[in-house]
Homo-oligomer: A and B are copies of this chain.
């Protein structure tokens, strides 16, 4: 339906232009997706406190993705877990003293000056400066946001009607919005996304809506995943993560899977800068490396080249929706494309997701399902902000077909690996292949093979195949998706898939020839 509508619009666009060339479609801040209201059973016009309460109830519900997940009895937190999943593991320090709103800042100015400096740079530390900004200032739009925050707090009873917000200090986030004092041991907590959401209801709702906008039509992924909103549960319910013995190494995985638990993955504490979060580097800590190298691909694409060459002249304080027209931006960043949906910008980054991170045959087979087609049309709309529709469609086809081509190589390898496994021919398979750590189960080229080596499990080609399906294909796809030629031809992607496939076929032939030799030797021995 929507695709058809868009097609129609695209067809009559030129005519529209000629007739109404004055019409400018101004991008804007997104509204909270309807799907969220539906999921929560709320009307769209509910008061902020009602929306917030419903959001928090779901956010903190272990039945709906909060907490330690299905394998909780298999792993123990480490002290550092307190900072990655504070709702579950944080306890205040052993400082049984009463502290006041002003004392927090005063004392931490000397004991941890770094975070106080950051806060001093923040909007939180400068509400009055923001309130005094001239309309010409790029940050002027934040005045409206402060007003919204006050409306939210009024609605929740955290700020008296008619009162405005005087300041946002340590205590508001770490002991409670508006409280004047508390006990440094028993009252102190580490904020989660719901803490931020008290003031920033819309942003909280936007990010929480990611759960509601990924309802895979053929169950290719669990509902709501992969998304930032359910990233922690996705982490702790990964079998090898739960099962591996080395908890400090496992903590490395978790360090990126905290977007569910905090807003500070992108808006680094304690400045919580919007400008910082608009830059591609904000995504880079997590979106880099062997299986999610979006950052590298972007930086080497034409988009990234322009960002690198000119980005320091763009006005990063402007909202994304105004960055091109008023801020001098001339190329997209991660945020420009992934936070946009139908011309509007918000904190739901998954409304256009089609492939869902790891390209699977199950998705390739269904790209002409309406669910996928509608999402592709949304991408066309995104790209045509700067490119012709013909260009956009022809490149999206390159991306899709190129990805499908890569998947074919993975499928070819899978057949060989399964064949060797079924025939018991992997190196040491019959003599020395222990099961992976529970709750994981053995399989040729399982994900566990990146994290645990026991006996001959994994073998060299188990790892090779795991790299194919979990890394090379993803880099291939991400190279295509981010228009970095080397990312999908032979620096990464395709050539790495081919190399692994060649190694697997080489091993297949070698292992089977060895088995044949052994059989011949055995026959000779029996004959003697």
- C-alpha gap A289/B301 in the complex (Å): 12
The answer to the question of A460 belonging to the interface, with a C-beta cut-off of 8 Å to chain B, is yes
The answer to the question of A177 belonging to the interface, with a C-beta cut-off of 8 Å to chain B, is no
The answer on a CB contact under 8 Å between B402 and A248 is yes
Q: What residue in chain B is nearest A20 (Cβ atoms)? A: B110
Contact of A78 among B14, B394, B462 (CB under 8 A): B394
A95 touching B14 in the complex, CB below 8 Å, given contacts A78-B398, A460-B506: yes
A121 touching B328 in the complex, CB below 8 Å, given contacts A110-B17, A112-B385, A405-B249: yes
A62 to chain B, nearest CB (A): 24
The answer on a CB contact under 8 Å between A117 and B324 is yes
A324 to chain B, nearest CB (A): 5
The answer on a CB contact under 8 Å between B498 and A451 is yes
The answer on a CB contact under 8 Å between B385 and A21 is no
Residues of B within 8 A of A312 (CB): 312
A453 touching B502 in the complex, CB below 8 Å, given contacts A103-B21, A386-B112, A489-B249: yes
The answer on a CB contact under 8 Å between A83 and B394 is yes
Q: What residue in chain B is nearest A184 (Cβ atoms)? A: B14
- Give A375-401 as 1s and 0s: 1 = Cβ < 8 Å from B's Cβ atoms: 000000000111111110111011101
The answer on a CB contact under 8 Å between B255 and A284 is no
Residues of B within 8 A of A452 (CB): 498
Q: What residue in chain B is nearest A266 (Cβ atoms)? A: B305
The answer to the question of A162 belonging to the interface, with a C-beta cut-off of 8 Å to chain B, is no
Within 8 A of B (CB), among A484-515: 484-486, 488-492, 494-495, 498-499, 501-503, 505-507, 509-510, 513-514
Q: Is the interface of A mostly helix, strand, loop or mixed?
A: helix
The answer on a CB contact under 8 Å between B253 and A309 is no
The answer to the question of A290 belonging to the interface, with a C-beta cut-off of 8 Å to chain B, is yes
Q: What residue in chain B is nearest A483 (Cβ atoms)? A: B255
Contact of A285 among B255, B391, B484 (CB under 8 A): B484
The answer to the question of A364 belonging to the interface, with a C-beta cut-off of 8 Å to chain B, is no
Residues of B within 8 A of A111 (CB): 13-14, 17, 384
Q: What residue in chain B is nearest A13 (Cβ atoms)? A: B111
Contact of A385 among B114, B399, B462, B494 (CB under 8 A): B114
Residues of B within 8 A of A401 (CB): 246, 248
**CB-based closest 7 A-B pairs:** A114-B386, A289-B491, A17-B107, A252-B489, A79-B394, A289-B486, A21-B106
13 additional contacts (CB under 8 A) given A256-B486, A521-B521 = A17-B111, A24-B113, A25-B110, A83-B394, A112-B384, A115-B386, A276-B310, A279-B309, A427-B506, A456-B502, A462-B502, A513-B514, A517-B518
**18 contacting pairs across A/B (C-beta < 8 A):** A80-B397, A114-B385, A252-B479, A255-B483, A256-B485, A268-B305, A276-B305, A279-B308, A282-B305, A284-B299, A284-B300, A289-B492, A312-B312, A450-B499, A451-B490, A517-B521, A521-B521, A527-B528
